[in-house]
A and B are shown apart, each in its own frame.
Chain A
Amino acid sequence: MTRTLRNALLGTAFGLALAAGPAGAATIKVGVVAPFSGPFGVAGKTFREAIEVYQAQHGKTVGNDTVEFVYKDLDQANPAQSKALSQELIVKEKVSFLAGYFFTPDALAVAPLIDEANIPCVIFNAATSAITEKSPRYVRTSFTLWQNTVPLAEYMAKQGIKKAVSAVSDYGPGLDGEAAFKTTFEKHGGTVVDSIRMPLKSTDFAPFMQRIKDSGAEAVYAFLPAGPTTLAFTKAFSDTGLKAAGIKFFGPGDLTQEPDLPALGDAALGVTTSFNYSRAHDSAMNKAFVAKHKEMFGSTDTVTFSSVGAYDGVHVIYQMIKNGGGGKIDGAKAVESVKGMSWESPRGPLTIDPDSRHVTQTIYLRTVEKVDGKLENVEKEAFPKQPDYGYKVAK
């Protein structure tokens, strides 16, 4: 027993000595603020898993420096708490990067902090366009509603749809979607006959379905937060006969994100959405990503848009460390060094727009279909090089 213990201790000491590596190596910490518990815990889980997959594929070191991730749980949108946690990461943990941020207010809360501390903040999700305008140290690897909606509205207009109706949840992102849809669809000659705003927490959609029916629209553009509301909306759409009446259903891909597909079930079949990532994306890189994920965590059920948001965010952070040449990170310079950077991601080609510091990416048109008995977003068309159309759009 003692001998095993001694051997184990020796082994650990040896391992640590190895891990310490050559002289001059430093540990670069990245603070990740995201929901890891509570109802949105799955979002943080996708972040963490993607980070671990990236580190498993690309190693934990950049040059001589070891990259270490420090996780802070922010279980719901709470900007004051977000700022306190980020402040602690900077002051106590001495992180060189902040990352994560699922909700917009949480990301907005750190703008004064990252400017004062000169630390880059890589947003893995929070999708309101205006965020990156608030500080030059924000970089975002997710998507915005404008980015997803504009190509969708153009596609709908090209399909010959003349009259459409928008139905969105009455909160920030919903209104962003409504504005983006109306602007683009009308620019391409369509008419938005009704703009419906639904209460955020409503799960009874029958009256809204009636309004959609009465409006005489040929198609509906819908945006609701993922979860039970989306489920109820999609079900109501087919139950009230709108689906059977031939009204076409479109929306951003948040509606049919992968972790929700099993719960949506067959009601989701045929729903057409536009989004920046589908787990079923057909590329060698995505297959490698999904396979590695399966190998490490045993399942791919949670692989979704927030996974690639984090995966690519880590890539950008690695690149910033590489560009800095090791040692201390100068936040402003690090952000400067990745402006215009292009690379291939599991979701397709990405470029960081030098102006908005948001990724320019391919948006895919997908339809929910059964693949090997599992619901997947199957990509039908691709709209390459879509920037964030919402950047600096006057509200």
Chain B
Amino acid sequence: MTSVAERPDPMSDPVSRHTPPAARRDLGWIGIPLVAAVGLAAYWLLPDDLALLTRIAASALFVLSLDLVLGYGGIATLGQAAMFGTGAYAAGIVAVNWINDPFAMLAAGGIAGGGIALATGALILHARGLTLLMLTIAVGQIVQEVANKARDWTGGSDGLSGIDPAPVLGLFRFDMFGRTSYLFALAVLVAGLLVARRIMRSPFGLACRGVREDPLRISAIGGSPKSYLVALYAVAGVFAGVAGALTAVTSGIVGLDSAGFPWSAEALVMLVLGGTGRLYGAVIGTAAFMGIHHILAASDPFHWMGFIGLFLIGIVLFLPGGIASGLERLGGLLRRKEDRA
């Protein structure tokens, strides 16, 4: 979407002159340990807010999946929640009917999310721009309506309740203080970041970036842009499905909202807020948006929406590339000073 136009010319950008593009985009190796460290620090510093932190971790994984399709593949989508919801329902159905081991639930969610992404991606990814946007919304609505109709399996509009995940590794029970939930969610998020980083730095990931920047050129050198995009969409679907399953594990219930349009749109807002095409931008954006949402809604539960709006407008005006771009600019300035010295 807009991120293509906003990306600065690599030759004039002070950051990129000093660091290779791959490292610049995900803060090198430091980004992921940093997320883990901050996550663990939050566990000790905010022991009363683990419910919120758990939601942030699970949502960050979902926003990360959106970053894969939008930030790296340039696929404009407002239907990412279709994969999230499918994963969440798959995990919930598996847990209620057959096996409630949390890892099995994550696996079920990942397979279901990836499967639906592969199936729908193959159908809709020939389209571009607004048409594609519309088709992704349609897929989301179909998934939501199927979930509404299949009441015997999904509970319809009452939600799929009664999901009671077994203790992690048979040792750590999901307690009401949310300690297990949070550490489990954080571990899954960090693992997700590691895998996503590996994928995006592989030849496949580089090819996907190539498709986003110039599909014609990829065809000219013998690649098939559409198959790259479909594969990327499916990979992101796995991430979204796992994120949905993670929400099912930690909250014990799945509602129709998990496949709804507002959730797709909110993820997009969080991604743009954090910065696209960087992986860790997804984490920063989610933490910033949900954190601020939480603080505002707690201090004034009746009028907080207006303040969130002002905050978003402020970010878009002053940091058009998202919070992550601001951090990078800051890093670039510091480095320039070092060079001069």
Point out residues on A near B: beta carbons under 8 Å.
Answer: 36-38, 41, 44, 71-73, 75-81, 83-85, 87-88, 90-92, 104-105, 108-109, 111-113, 116-117, 128, 130, 134, 170-173, 175, 200
Closest B residue by C-beta to A90 = B176
B277: min CB distance to chain A, Å: 28
From the candidates B50, B256, B302, name the one contacting A77 in the complex (CB within 8 A). B256
CB contacts (< 8 Å) of A80 on chain B: these are 55, 247, 250-251, 253-255, 258
**Measured between alpha carbons, how far is A170 from B148 in the docked complex, in Å?**
8
In the complex, which residues 130-164 of chain B have their Cβ closer than 8 Å to any Cβ of chain A?
148-149, 151, 155-159, 161-162, 164
CB contacts (< 8 Å) of B155 on chain A: these are 105
**Measured between alpha carbons, how far is A109 from B155 in the docked complex, in Å?**
13
Closest B residue by C-beta to A45 = B302
Closest 10 CB pairs of A and B: A105-B159, A92-B48, A80-B251, A73-B301, A87-B51, A84-B51, A172-B157, A79-B253, A171-B157, A79-B255
A105 and B52 form a contact (CB under 8 A): no
B287: min CB distance to chain A, Å: 15
A116 with B159: in contact, given A38-B305, A79-B255, A88-B51 (CB under 8 Å)? no
**Measured between alpha carbons, how far is A44 from B304 in the docked complex, in Å?**
14
A116 and B156 form a contact (CB under 8 A): no
**Measured between alpha carbons, how far is A92 from B164 in the docked complex, in Å?**
23
A173 and B157 form a contact (CB under 8 A): yes
B100: min CB distance to chain A, Å: 13
Closest B residue by C-beta to A197 = B149
Additional pairs, 19, CB under 8 Å, beyond known A83-B51, A88-B49, A108-B159 = A37-B303, A73-B304, A76-B262, A79-B161, A79-B251, A80-B255, A83-B252, A84-B251, A87-B176, A87-B177, A87-B178, A105-B155, A105-B157, A105-B159, A108-B158, A109-B252, A109-B253, A116-B176, A134-B161
Closest B residue by C-beta to A88 = B51
A112 and B252 form a contact (CB under 8 A): yes
A266: min CB distance to chain B, Å: 32
**Measured between alpha carbons, how far is A303 from B252 in the docked complex, in Å?**
34
B221: min CB distance to chain A, Å: 45
A104 and B158 form a contact (CB under 8 A): yes
A91 and B253 form a contact (CB under 8 A): no
B302 and A79 form a contact (CB under 8 A): no
**Measured between alpha carbons, how far is A44 from B305 in the docked complex, in Å?**
15
B257 and A83 form a contact (CB under 8 A): no
From the candidates A38, A84, A108, name the one contacting B52 in the complex (CB within 8 A). A84
B176 and A88 form a contact (CB under 8 A): no
Closest A residue by C-beta to B244 = A80
B49 and A37 form a contact (CB under 8 A): no
From the candidates A75, A77, A88, name the one contacting B48 in the complex (CB within 8 A). A88
In the complex, which residues 38-62 of chain B have their Cβ closer than 8 Å to any Cβ of chain A?
48-52, 54-55
A335: min CB distance to chain B, Å: 18
B220: min CB distance to chain A, Å: 46
From the candidates B51, B252, B256, B303, name the one contacting A85 in the complex (CB within 8 A). B51
A172 and B158 form a contact (CB under 8 A): yes
**Measured between alpha carbons, how far is A116 from B175 in the docked complex, in Å?**
8
**Measured between alpha carbons, how far is A71 from B301 in the docked complex, in Å?**
7
B9: min CB distance to chain A, Å: 42
Most chain A CB neighbours (cut-off 10 Å) among B49, B55, B251, B304: B251
Closest B residue by C-beta to A128 = B158
B257 and A76 form a contact (CB under 8 A): yes
A168: min CB distance to chain B, Å: 12
Closest A residue by C-beta to B141 = A201
B179: min CB distance to chain A, Å: 10
**Measured between alpha carbons, how far is A80 from B303 in the docked complex, in Å?**
22
B51 and A72 form a contact (CB under 8 A): no
**Measured between alpha carbons, how far is A306 from B57 in the docked complex, in Å?**
35
B247 and A175 form a contact (CB under 8 A): no
A105 and B175 form a contact (CB under 8 A): no
B51: min CB distance to chain A, Å: 4
CB contacts (< 8 Å) of B164 on chain A: these are 112
A92 and B49 form a contact (CB under 8 A): yes
From the candidates A37, A87, A130, name the one contacting B158 in the complex (CB within 8 A). A130
B297 at the A interface (CB under 8 A): yes
CB contacts (< 8 Å) of A76 on chain B: these are 257, 262
